Amino acid sequence: MGPVLPITRDMLVDLGGWQVFQQAQGMVQAGQVQGVQYAPPILSARIENGGPCLVTRLKLGRTLAATETLCTCRDAKLYGTMCAHVVAAGLEYLRKRAVEEATPSPAGSMKSVNAAIAGTSGGIAGSVPGKGPAVTRGLMGVPSGGKVPASVGGATASASRISSVASGPPYRRVLLGNAPAEARRLEPMFLLPLTFPEGADRLGRDGGIRLIIEARVMSQATAMSTVPEGRKEAFQPWDSVIRANVLSGRETLFAVTEDDEAVLSVVEKACGGTISGMCHISRDHLHALFSAMAVHPSVWLGKKSPVRIRRSTVKPSLRMETLPGGELRLTLEKPATPPGKVVAIPGGRWVWREGHLDELWQLPQPYASLEKAPVTLKRTEIVNFLTREMPALSRLVSMEGTGALAGGNVNLETRSPEIYATLDGSLAGLSLQLEAAYCGGRFRYPLKPGDADGVIPSPVYEPDDEGVGATKAGTSNVPALTFWCRDHAAERVAIGEARSGGFARGDRRPDAWFISGERQVGTFLANQLPRWRKKWRVIEGARMQELTSKLDYIEPDVTLVPTGRDIGRPRGDASSFDAARYDGEDWLSLDIRLRSRQGRTELSPSDVQRWLQTGQSHRREAAGRILLFPNQAWDQMQLVLADCDVRQDPGRQRVRAHFAPYLANALDAQGWGLSQRSTWRPPEEKPDLALGTLPKELAETVRPYQAQGIAWLSGLAQNGLCGLLADEMGLGKTLQMLAFLQQLLAKAGGNVLIVCPTSLVHNWRQEAERFTPGLRVLVVEGAGRASLWSAVEKADLVVTSYALLRRDIERYTGLEFTAVVLDEAQHIKNRSSLNAQSAKALRAKLRYVLTGTPLENSLQDLWSIYDFLLPNYLGTSKDFKERYETPIARDKDEAAAQRLRQRLRPFFLRRTKKEVALQLPDKLEQVAWCELTDEQREVYQAILEKGRREVFDGSGKAGQGKNKLAILTTLLRLRQACCHLGLLPGEGGTSDVSADADGAAWKEPSGKLDHFLELLDEAVDGGHRILVFSQFVRLLHLVRAELDTRGVAYCYLDGATQNRMDEVKRFQTSSDIPVFLISLKAGGVGLNLTAADTVVLFDPWWNPAVEDQATARAHRIGQQRVVNAYKMIARGTVEEKILKLQAKKQALFASSMASEELFVDSLTWDEVKELFA
């Protein structure tokens, strides 16, 4: 037989997929895989999991498509699927081989096992794609043609480890989370020599250190993960503890934590595979040892005092700026080295200071040239830097000035790709080549697993006819370089589609994907291919064309016909919202038939059930015809129909009219559509018609995307439907709604109630006077508002606040409006709040919602808003939680998320500034790094140490140690300390105490305030006007006091401010007031403050979208100047870690406006430990 595929970790991932691979890892870690043998091409093993022994075998072929599973499990025998059993056999084979090959000793090498099973990560320089031209190598400090050095790769902790004590008996370590009941908890303690502080700065020159290891053994039930004061005597020398507990005659299992294993693995490697109670760690292994100890809770200086070791969280900033000649200058801004003894050892630098060993930042050797002096790249070298160096550098440094690139002579534009899918093969197996095409297909990139994982898109340089990009207006006479960037997010979606279709990467053809097995191919042809044809360009090879000619698809033939309005009966109490809202409902008749395209086959309900029960998606018919049934797609459609609450009447089915757009969307997503017999049509959007009905001055003011929004609202209204306008902040939602309401009232008459936050009541009045002066506006507010009720019927627009709506709800329920509009509707997100109950009790023919943040905490927020907008459209709260919230939030069910998007989309419109190509000035965002004062650092460290003790309660397990209240409280105190020590509670429990524990005034309470005042002076001298946001009102008071001392004029707004719009108007019209201090909660939304061109976010919020809202107060329609946004971050603190977590949890923020509590709920245990590191 010829050569077969080598068994590697990547091959096993591709063979079974990631989920199967994870299951297999669990089997190996639990010790369930026994008797593995490999006699090419057959790999065999036994799976022993407490039940009957299962024999699994894998027959390897030359390619993945030719590899067969011979496992005896049910799924493998019935469907031929690659199960976790065969993948686990491969992993166990790799583990055993690594142990055998690692060292001559029986112990082997832990790192080798790790490398085999988990894979190793290459160095930074090695991660740069391609070989790299001369300019790239010059930047890295490597001569042209020379070899780029690679840094040492890392490895993850393994599940188990065979080891020994010197020449003593062998034992096996297993991770605590996967340990069997008989394993005993082995808890190590690591003692640095007492002379360590005196000789710390000589470690790089001397031979290393002597490390003493002690341990204790106990049952898992009583295990502790930390060493409290006074309990160190329970630990004994390592060698004696191991020998006393190793069982004779059978294997001994010790359970250790991942933190324990990380340190023990380094010690093992440094000592040749054997651990003893006294180890010599050479200087070459010290960096790895210190790095591993950074997460370990039991490191001591002798037995005298604990040692706190911390990895560096500091990133130097790399500032990029374009020069007048088109060059790009890179300047590294290095953070200051803290005081203490510097430990310079191979691989890194550390600093020892008073019981703390902290890692110092350090760039790898390839980038050392950046530390010496700024580097200037020629215009011709910029392409190479952006495509090869920038992705790697962004992992090492904070990239600043990316926004300036777009505003200078380098222009980056992300383009949407067209996906090309080239298919060929037969029903036995298909090959796929996936490409992302840009610029009309002129640039095509093969898509492979991992191909789209870059930190930033890889720019495609597109010159004009003269060989350079067009000159960017207002920059210089030097033509701009324009780079069309690949949209890696869209490319990753395409790769995910290929994987979900059953395709895996080939071995001999890395640019191709393969799927094998008639069942798998049939499933793909029936379910995925129709969707691909709708959104991608599918190209068929000769064999694929022959296969396609034999296919006959069964598709749903869906007909919707309006039947008119049924008069509904009041449901429940006559005062309930449902009874008030609906006196009748529009219905559609629904006819669904499943028939083949060629018309030869029509399925009965019993036929459909048989197809679904067997799981089959294809059937061979006479004359070579292949009948395809979309079983997976039809499963999803059944869920959609259940969502639509289809009613079964004698001889017919019917559905409420407001479900029709959702049903049509769901059909379209599967590559289907409504039948030609359907007379129902979706609401039409006619922007030109919408503009034609507006007064001339207003029509000239409205932008094209706003005209589309007005048309969308009008189309919904004409069909008796409601809508949620969720455009990004600053796009003019108020203007669009006012224009639409003017049209609506001209046709329907009556009046409209507008409910908004108190701070925006007069903003609505002013905007109406400006854009729709013909509408009569009545503002209902104040203690004497009772006298205004007689004027309500004469007004066109009635404006009130949520707070007054709650008080006056009995009066409002006696009125019926043409429409009700809720502005900033997140105020009704809590379904049980008085705000929500009052809004839902209002009576109106139409309902509309404006908000830039429809979700703030969970999907239940959205349910509450839609329950106002379209009662019962999303079902009851309980139904919604079961169908959507739990599957999406807990189970990450993408199918449920897709159904929810389809359901919301007909009544939901959101555009971003980027999407509508709004011609706003640039917004330049940058981090303003601040250093804590010595006094702040001392207090911050004390809070951190106390918080660690409260959060990590000694259990060492995520479920027990993650004390949510302690986490929230400690994080709040740390963030307050980063801003100003005067924010911290004093002995009396008040935050107004600006004193230390002895009652003396703080001498250096805020390095951040000092930095802000410097920034303020510079901005005011430059003629700029500034918005200052903080979530801490007390901090705004402190800043206000400083401004009073300096004689700087300012405006001020927080939740207690009266006449808020007067403050806004004063700032907008008085150019001699340079500063506006604003509470993030009170003024982060709804306000128009375009007189400012600088925004300072004094303290970071967990969710960057909330920060974007604040910045949008200045960066919005009407802004004529470039807006600079500064995010003030205390370096080396929890604020810096928040920045990292914001990027890491981008998906969470994309789906919700996460609060601090939700953010903490989303943290993994490792992330909690990192926050408190």
pLDDT digits (tens, 9 = 90+) for 363-386: 776 677 787 888 888 876 776 677
Q: What are phi and psi of 45, to 5 degrees?
A: -165, 170
The torsion region of residue 782 among left (phi > 0), alpha (psi -120 to 50) and beta comes to left
Kindly report, residue by residue over 952-1010, the tens digit of the pLDDT.
Answer: 754 444 444 446 677 888 888 999 999 999 999 863 333 333 444 433 467 889 999 98
In contact, 351 and 201? CB cutoff 8 Å: no
pLDDT for the residue numbered 851: 86
Helix (H, G, I), strand (E, B) or coil at 959: helix
Kindly report, residue by residue over 94-116, the tens digit of the pLDDT.
Answer: 888 877 765 443 333 333 333 33
pLDDT for the residue numbered 139: 42
In contact, 44 and 37? CB cutoff 8 Å: yes
Residue 1154 or 1166, more confident = 1166
Instruction: Write down the residue that tokens 């060993």 correspond to.
Output: 357
Q: Which of 151-160, 880-889, 994-1003 has the highest mean pLDDT?
A: 880-889
> Residue 340 is inside which H or E element, if any?
none
pLDDT for the residue numbered 570: 34
895 and 755 fall within a common domain: yes
Helix (H, G, I), strand (E, B) or coil at 768: helix
pLDDT at 827 > cutoff 80: yes
- For 884-982, list the strands marked E by DSSP: 908-909, 923-930
Torsion of CA 800, 801, 802, 807, to 10 degrees: -70
Strands 184-192 and 652-656: unpaired
In contact, 51 and 180? CB cutoff 8 Å: no
Q: Is the peptide bond before 41 cis (omega within 30 degrees of 0)?
A: yes
Strands 513-516 and 33-39: unpaired
In contact, 425 and 543? CB cutoff 8 Å: yes
Residues 6+ apart with CB under 8 A from 1081: 1031, 1055
For 5, the token pair is 């595929």
In contact, 668 and 689? CB cutoff 8 Å: no
CA distance 988 to 35: 68
pLDDT for the residue numbered 648: 80
Smallest Cα–Cα separation from 312: which of 254, 375, 358? 358
Kindly report, residue by residue over 1023-1049, the tens digit of the pLDDT.
Answer: 889 999 998 999 999 999 999 999 999
486 and 566 fall within a common domain: no
Count how many residues are written for the chain: 1173
For 1145, the token pair is 């949890």
pLDDT for the residue numbered 363: 76
113 and 173 fall within a common domain: no
Helix (H, G, I), strand (E, B) or coil at 1170: helix
Q: What are phi and psi of 683, to 5 degrees?
A: -55, 140
Q: Which of 624-638, 754-768, 1133-1147 has the lowest mean pLDDT?
A: 1133-1147
Q: Please give the full DSSP string across 1102-1168, using - where no structure is assigned.
A: S-HHHHHHHHTTTSSTT--SPEEEEEEEETTSHHHHHHHHHHHTHHHHHH----HHHHHHH--HHHH
Looking at this protein, which amino acid is placed at residue 226?
T
In contact, 781 and 757? CB cutoff 8 Å: no
Instruction: Write down the residue that tokens 């029709």 correspond to.
Output: 660
Smallest Cα–Cα separation from 276: which of 286, 259, 264? 264
Kindly state the average pLDDT of the residues 135-147: 36
> Residue 278 is inside which H or E element, if any?
strand 278-282
User: What does the buried/exposed string (b/e) look like for 666-694 if buried means 16 or more CB atoms within 10 Å of the residue's CB?
Assistant: bbebbbbebeeebebeebebebeebbeeb
Looking at this protein, which amino acid is placed at residue 151?
S
> Residue 977 is inside which H or E element, if any?
helix 964-979
Range of the domain at 253: 160-307
Give the residues across from 656 on adjacent strands: 587
pLDDT at 158 > cutoff 60: no
**Residue percentage of the chain with pLDDT more than 70:** 75
Q: Which of 656-665, 746-755, 1049-1058 has the highest mean pLDDT?
A: 746-755
Q: Which of 216-225, 544-553, 806-815, 915-924 has the lowest mean pLDDT?
A: 216-225
pLDDT for the residue numbered 800: 95
**Half-sphere exposure of residue 109: CA atoms within 13 angstroms, side-chain side:** 15
pLDDT for the residue numbered 481: 59
Task: Name the percent of the chain in helix, strand, coil, to the closest 5.
Answer: 40, 25, 35
CA distance 380 to 692: 51
pLDDT at 329 > cutoff 60: yes
pLDDT for the residue numbered 50: 64
691 and 777 fall within a common domain: yes
Please indicate, yes or no, if residue 320 is contained in any of the structural domains. Answer: no
**Half-sphere exposure of residue 923: CA atoms within 13 angstroms, side-chain side:** 24
pLDDT at 777 > cutoff 90: yes
pLDDT at 544 > cutoff 90: yes
Kindly state the average pLDDT of the residues 727-741: 89
108 and 231 fall within a common domain: no
Kindly state the average pLDDT of the residues 81-91: 87
Please indicate, yes or no, if residue 404 is contained in any of the structural domains. Answer: no
pLDDT at 831 > cutoff 50: yes
Give Cα 941 to chain centroid, integer Å. 30
> Which of 69, 102, 119 is the last residue before a domain boundary?
119
pLDDT at 322 > cutoff 50: yes
Q: Which of 327-341, 373-387, 687-701 has the lowest mean pLDDT?
A: 687-701
Please indicate, yes or no, if residue 443 is contained in any of the structural domains. Answer: yes
How many CB atoms are closer than 10 A to CB 352?
21
Number of domain units in the chain: 6
pLDDT at 568 > cutoff 60: no
CA distance 1097 to 1015: 12
CA distances from 550 to 369, 525, 1084 (A): 63, 12, 61
Helix (H, G, I), strand (E, B) or coil at 708: helix
Kindly report the average pLDDT of the chain as a whole number. Answer: 77
CA distances from 482 to 389, 436, 471, 485, 1058 (A): 18, 20, 9, 9, 50
For 913, the token pair is 């500034």
3 state SS for 180-235:
CCCCEEEEEEEEECCCHHHHHHHCCCCCEEEEEEEEEEECHHHCCCCCCCCCHHHC
> Residue 985 is inside which H or E element, if any?
none
Q: Which of 319-333, 575-589, 660-674, 1019-1033 has the highest mean pLDDT?
A: 1019-1033
Looking at this protein, which amino acid is placed at residue 791?
A
Q: What are phi and psi of 513, to 5 degrees?
A: -115, 155
CA distance 116 to 98: 6
Instruction: Write down the residue that tokens 């004061």 correspond to.
Output: 229
Please indicate, yes or no, if residue 1005 is contained in any of the structural domains. Answer: yes
CATH label of the domain that carries residue 852 = 3.40.50.10810
For 559, the token pair is 């007909």
For 1004, the token pair is 């250096």
Residue 122 or 611, more confident = 611
Confidence of residue 772 (pLDDT cuts 50, 70, 90): very high
CA distance 1042 to 115: 57
986 and 1099 fall within a common domain: yes
575 and 532 fall within a common domain: no
With vertex at residue 853, the alpha carbon angle to CA 850 and CA 854, rounded to the nearest 5 degrees, is 70
pLDDT for the residue numbered 960: 41
CA distance 343 to 358: 10
> Which of 119, 137, 172 is the last residue before a domain boundary?
119
Looking at this protein, which amino acid is placed at residue 918?
L
In contact, 422 and 541? CB cutoff 8 Å: yes
1060 and 933 fall within a common domain: yes
CA distance 149 to 928: 33
> Which of 859, 882, 909 is the last residue before a domain boundary?
909
468 and 578 fall within a common domain: no
CA distances from 143 to 368, 382, 1162 (A): 13, 18, 47
CA distances from 628 to 20, 156, 550, 633 (A): 27, 45, 10, 12
pLDDT for the residue numbered 214: 93
Please indicate, yes or no, if residue 935 is contained in any of the structural domains. Answer: yes
Please indicate, yes or no, if residue 59 is contained in any of the structural domains. Answer: yes
Residue 498 or 365, more confident = 498
For 818, the token pair is 């043409």
535 and 558 fall within a common domain: no
CA distance 972 to 1054: 20
Please indicate, yes or no, if residue 153 is contained in any of the structural domains. Answer: no
627 and 691 fall within a common domain: no
720 and 769 fall within a common domain: yes
Please indicate, yes or no, if residue 835 is contained in any of the structural domains. Answer: yes
